[in-house]
Amino acid sequence: MSTDKSVQTVNDMLDQHGISRRTFLKSCMLAASAMALSPMAGSAMAKELGGRRRPSVIYLSFQECTGCLESLTRSFNPTLEHLIFDVISLDYNDTLMAAAGEAAESAKEKAMRDNYGQYVLVVDGAVPLAYGGACHTAAGKSAVQILQHAVKGARAVVCVGTCATFGGLPIAQPNPTGAVPVPSLIKGKPVINLSGCPPIPVVMAGTLMHFFTFDRVPELDHLKRPKMFYGNTIHDRCYRRPFYDAGKFAESFDDAGARNGWCLYKLGCKGPTTYNACATLKWNQGVSFPIESGHPCLGCSQPGFWDGGSFYAALSTPKWGRAGEGSPSKAGEVAGASAGIGAGVGVAAAGLSRYRKYRRAHKAPAGMDAGGDDNTKEE
Amino acid sequence: MIADPGPASPGTIDGTGPVDGEIETIGSGVAALLFELVAMLERFAESGERGTIDLRSLPMAPSEYALLRETLGQGEVSAELDLGGPSSVHETGFHAAWWVRHCTPDGEVAAEYIEVAAVPEILLADGADARRGAERLRARIAGWNPSADAEVTK
């Protein structure tokens, strides 16, 4: 409990909502477990966050489909993803807030003034630059103007979803709006990328909890993603991995291999080159993830996944360039011919994935925490 | 070899275990885990240091998980909690080693760990709990007339 009655702490808020300290402790322990921290870290998290004033979060949406926000808000009560809305003070989100127009904009300006230098700016969606930014405007300002204004007083910027982190669908060829990823526009502020289409709710909530608890950016990979969630490929942690190692592959979506749960590599699974936590955290309250439901991983948390050729072409399929360039139909033609060599090349892909991980571990890229560099390129 | 089904993850999509029984092998993971638990119990006995082993983070085949549960067994104390989804705590057959399981509202296991402590932290009440309890009880009994209340309930 705070000594200053005018300051509402997280514990105060939880108490008002009838959420017990033990329930909050449980949620923090789940978050710690998801972040590969000891459950005892969850206890420290509950104590640290509980006594603090609720941190201010300003959430901006640009070129996006609202799927990221849906992912976070459509989770089931009362999970960590739900509790995050009690832990933080969400001072601006034009989709969720009741206010609109000038009232909403005034609320945002007030929150930014009152929490200058302290608020966390969450952004989803890419930023269009073509036509003077006219493809996305709100309150008479372009997306880039809104972003630049909000970034000034932010403690850190959290880019949510593949559109914000790497450009996603808006940046896919032919990119008619001149969209760019959010990190490419940010200089001198810590940036955390939470890619995925959409990101896993626990990843979003857990990263914010981690930041507010430990008051620092978690350890990031070369694409500025928290290693605790993006440290392994889907393939590394996939429960079907033993079938891959044993050379057992589904050849079509309804053959015996598919029914027996064999590896989906030949059906286009991008798990070997995709870094995300779907295989361990799963979706829909831990029910399953795409591969467990019988569908290959699309690689949605990686840069350029929309332009990576057919979702159903094996990774071993040679590419003729980005989709929309040269001979887009060729990728599909080559897919059938090369799927047979998938297993051998797949081993090479997995090896390359491990090699990249090893290389990154031994040579950290410069400017990892500084922000402002180009986050859209894979190493 | 099993990559990482985790204790709550099925070996195959229908949850019947690995196909053909040819992939699953029982490793030495359970033995290593038990030795770690012994060391944690000894540390707790000597210094009072608490400790946890997060079972969800360990690659464990369903058969290894079953072996671990069977080896640790059930002790004298157990508790069920309703914390936005069921949770359960039971002391294993080895004092101060507690098996803690947290589930989602749908009953899916969300976290599971072995905690070495006098009492698992999730069961403890703290000062703030007591203060809120006192406030609520004080409000409840303010102007309380037991006989009138009894009349109302008749």
If asked whether residues A58 and A116 sit together in one domain, one would say: yes
Residue A56 lies in a domain: yes
DSSP H or E segment with residue B42: helix B29-47
Return the pLDDT at B84. 84
Residue B85 lies in a domain: yes
Other CB atoms within a 10 A radius of the CB of residue A44 amount to: 15
The number of distinct structural domains making up chain A is 2
Structural domain boundaries enclosing B53:
19-153
Residue A370 lies in a domain: no
Are the beta carbons of A88 and A54 closer than 8 angstroms?
Answer: yes
Q: Judge whether B88 is closer than 8 Å to chain A, CB to CB.
A: no
Assign B94 a pLDDT band (cuts: 50, 70, 90): very high
**CB contact burial A298-322 (16+ within 10 A = b; e otherwise):** bbbbbbbbbbbbebbbbbbbeebeb
Q: Which residue has the tokens 């591969």?
A: A291
Assign B109 a pLDDT band (cuts: 50, 70, 90): confident
Return the pLDDT at A336. 38
Residue A248 lies in a domain: yes
B117, pLDDT greater than 90? yes
If asked whether residues A98 and A204 sit together in one domain, one would say: yes
Residue A5 lies in a domain: no
Return the pLDDT at A119. 95
Which of these ranges, A19-23, A155-159, B61-65, B96-100, has the smallest mean pLDDT? B61-65
- What mean pLDDT comes out for the span B27-38? 86
Residue A123 structure tokens: 């952004």
Q: What is the pLDDT of residues A128-170, one digit of tens each?
A: 999 999 999 999 999 999 999 999 999 999 999 999 999 999 9
- Give residue B68's identity as a one-letter amino acid code: L
Residue B79 lies in a domain: yes
For residue A171, the domain's CATH number is 3.40.50.700
Q: Report CB contact under 8 Å: B13, A280.
A: no
If asked whether residues A192 and A56 sit together in one domain, one would say: yes
For residue B137, the domain's CATH number is 3.30.1370.140
Return the pLDDT at B154. 55
Structural domain boundaries enclosing A117:
10-218
Q: Which residue has the tokens 């940010």?
A: A186
Residue B91 lies in a domain: yes
**Count of pairs with CB atoms under 8 A, one residue in A, one in B:** 105
Per-10-residue mean pLDDT of chain A, 379 residues long, equals 58 83 88 80 86 91 94 65 77 89 93 95 97 94 97 97 97 97 96 96 88 92 96 93 93 95 96 94 85 96 93 81 40 39 43 44 35 37
If asked whether residues A52 and A139 sit together in one domain, one would say: yes
Q: Which residue has the tokens 């030795």?
A: B35
**CB contact burial A64-100 (16+ within 10 A = b; e otherwise):** bbebbbebbbebeebbbbbbbbbbbbbbbbbeeeeee
Q: Report CB contact under 8 Å: A21, B111.
A: no
If asked whether residues A182 and A301 sit together in one domain, one would say: no
- The minimum CA-CA distance between B154 and chain A, rounded to whole Å, is 30
Q: Report CB contact under 8 Å: B122, A22.
A: yes
Return the pLDDT at A40. 82
Of residues B91 and A318, more confidence is placed in: B91
Residue A372 lies in a domain: no
The number of distinct structural domains making up chain B is 1
Residue A3 lies in a domain: no
For residue A350, the domain's CATH number is 4.10.480.10
Residue B11 lies in a domain: no
Residue A64 lies in a domain: yes
Q: Is the ipTM of this complex over 0.85?
A: no
Return the pLDDT at B99. 98
If asked whether residues A239 and A344 sit together in one domain, one would say: yes
Residue B8 lies in a domain: no
The pLDDT > 90 percentage for chain B reads 47
